[in-house]
């Protein structure tokens, strides 16, 4: 008999998520049945979308993905010792099977990790998982960049800007600390990077993108994005990936930003939102491309790893304070 621990969310988040919004409970797991396997969590992913994508019934199980190891199995496709990515929620042990979508209707719900060679399995939640695929497919399919074009990325400490450099673009990033900006222009080779908390965004862009912006990959939304969009070129393309600047905002007044329509019309812009599961049937293609770029030394990654299941809520809260540089993960020890 296995005793699992899981997080439940007690009530809707209000403003920044708090430890008191969560409770850890224990659950006795039954014996596995035909087709099922038992997986032990190794890394749990904390992600900004978890702030805004819970249902409306409380208390509820916390949603989220993990990389887990199969430790008991009655399913030949998931043998003991194999590594899986599963959308199981924040929990230590899970019994499931491929047709089981009781935890969440996310697609893909479950898959075996490809062979990462010498690289850590934790990448399956970051650059070699759905986060990396958001960057790869969101940027290439929505922005449709051409070599030589100028690309701006907000929430820039991820893969998008590096992919833009690989594709021959000029890249400008915005991030929330000077240390992150130094990493972007240093190790990651961005052409310039500005700390959105202390630069004048419009002036910074006029100086660093004097010929205007062709593509904008928007992770944050709000006024920063309105300013970037106001400096776009004719037929510019915007991929709207997220709007983290608004996720904790409780006052509707503060969710307002400068009107976009004059720029959209006069510059004939294409602005398109996307959700990475749109590309679910190309999951392996995206993972393999990012993996290949890592192996070739073209794509670098950082992980922000916090130890201990009991630290998961803190790791989640840290996302909204910019505590992470790179993918935020909880290692289950
Ligand atoms: N459309 C889709 O399918 C997907 C969308 N997303 C979205 O992409 C965005 C980035 O997610 P992800 O890469 O997982 O997370 P990150 O690893 O980029 O972590 C979140 C980062 O957001 C920044 N941030 C926090 N608060 C604010 C704020 N008020 N204004 C600006 N930046 C802020 C912080 O960095 P800093 O120090 O720079 O402030 C923080 O480190 C989110 O909006 C998320 O919802 C993610 C995955 C899939
Ligand atoms: C205003 C709400 C904007 C929310 C944007 C966002 O972050 C959406 C993300 C999810 C989308 O709805 C479907 C998904 O699968 C996205 C999340 C994927 C992130 C992957 C995180 C790691 C993992 O679970 O593998």
Decide which of 260, 277, 294 is a domain's last residue.
Answer: 277
Q: pLDDT tens for residues 182-207?
A: 999 999 999 999 999 999 999 999 99
Give the pTM.
0.97
Ligand 1 is surrounded, with C-beta below 6 A, by 47-49, 131, 134, 155, 158, 175-177, 180, 219-220, 241-245, 274-276, 319-320, 322, 324, 327-328
Q: Is the pLDDT of residue 101 over 80?
A: no
Q: pLDDT averaged over the chain? A: 96
Statement to judge: residues 16 and 117 lie in one domain: yes
3-state helix/strand/coil string of 151-181: EEEECCCCCHHHHHHHCCCEEEEEECCHHHH
Q: Are strands 93-96 and 232-240 parallel, antiparallel or unpaired?
A: unpaired
Helix axes 201-208, 222-230, angle to 10 degrees: 40
The more confident residue out of 316 and 99 is 316
68 lines ligand 2 (CB under 6 A): no
Residue 219 lies in a domain: yes
Rounded mean pLDDT of 127-145?
A: 98
Structure tokens at 58: 């409380």
Pocket test for ligand 1, best of 219, 228, 305, 328 (most atoms within 8 A of CB): 219
Which ligand 2 atom minimizes the distance to the CA of 124?
25
Residue 156 lies in a domain: yes
ipTM value, please give it. 0.96
Statement to judge: residues 197 and 136 lie in one domain: yes
Structure tokens at 252: 């509707």
CA distance 21 to 54: 13
Residue 102 banded pLDDT, cuts 50, 70, 90: low
CA distance 74 to 93: 16
Q: Which domain holds residue 83?
A: 2-126+302-331
Identify the DSSP state of 91: B
Statement to judge: residues 13 and 115 lie in one domain: yes
Structure tokens at 331: 């290692």
- Cβ atoms < 10 Å from Cβ of 215: 25
Statement to judge: residues 112 and 17 lie in one domain: yes
Statement to judge: residues 268 and 322 lie in one domain: no
Provide the CATH number for the domain around residue 261: 3.40.50.720
Residue 282 lies in a domain: no
Count the domains in the chain.
Answer: 2
Residue with tokens 């670098």: 300
What is the CB-side half-sphere exposure of residue 110 using CA atoms within 13 A?
Answer: 24
CA distance 8 to 24: 6
């Amino acid at each position: 008999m296995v005793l699992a621990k899981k997080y439940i969310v007690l009530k809707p988040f209000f403003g920044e998520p708090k430890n008191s919004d969560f409770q850890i409970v224990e659950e006795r797991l039954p014996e596995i049945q035909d087709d099922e396997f038992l997986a032990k969590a190794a890394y749990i992913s904390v992600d900004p979308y978890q702030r805004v994508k819970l249902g409306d019934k409380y208390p509820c199980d916390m949603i989220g993905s993990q990389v887990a190891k199969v430790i008991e199995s009655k399913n030949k496709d998931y043998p003991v010792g194999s590594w899986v990515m599963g959308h199981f929620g924040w929990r230590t042990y899970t019994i499931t099977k491929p047709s089981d979508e009781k935890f969440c209707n996310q697609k893909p719900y479950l898959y075996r990790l490809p062979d990462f060679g010498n690289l850590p399995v934790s990448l399956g939640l970051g650059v070699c998982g759905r986060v990396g695929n958001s960057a790869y497919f969101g940027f290439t399919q929505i922005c449709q960049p051409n070599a030589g074009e100028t690309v701006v990325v907000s929430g820039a400490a991820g893969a998008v800007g590096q992919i833009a450099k690989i594709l021959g673009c000029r890249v400008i990033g915005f991030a929330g600390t000077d240390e992150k900006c130094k990493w972007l222009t240093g190790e990651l080779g961005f052409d310039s990077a500005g700390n959105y908390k202390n630069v004048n965004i419009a002036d910074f862009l006029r100086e660093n993108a004097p010929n205007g912006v062709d593509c904008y990959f928007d992770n944050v939304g709000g006024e920063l994005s309105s300013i970037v969009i106001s400096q776009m070129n004719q037929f510019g393309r915007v991929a709207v990936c997220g709007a983290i600047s608004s996720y904790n905002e409780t006052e509707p007044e503060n969710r307002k930003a400068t009107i976009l329509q004059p720029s959209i019309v006069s510059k004939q812009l294409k602005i398109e939102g996307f959700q990475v599961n749109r590309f679910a049937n190309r999951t392996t293609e995206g993972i393999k491309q990012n993996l290949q770029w890592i192996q070739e030394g073209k794509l670098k990654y950082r992980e922000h790893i916090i130890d201990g299941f009991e630290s998961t809520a803190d790791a989640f809260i840290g996302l909204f304070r910019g505590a992470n540089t790179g993918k935020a993960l909880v290692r289950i020890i």
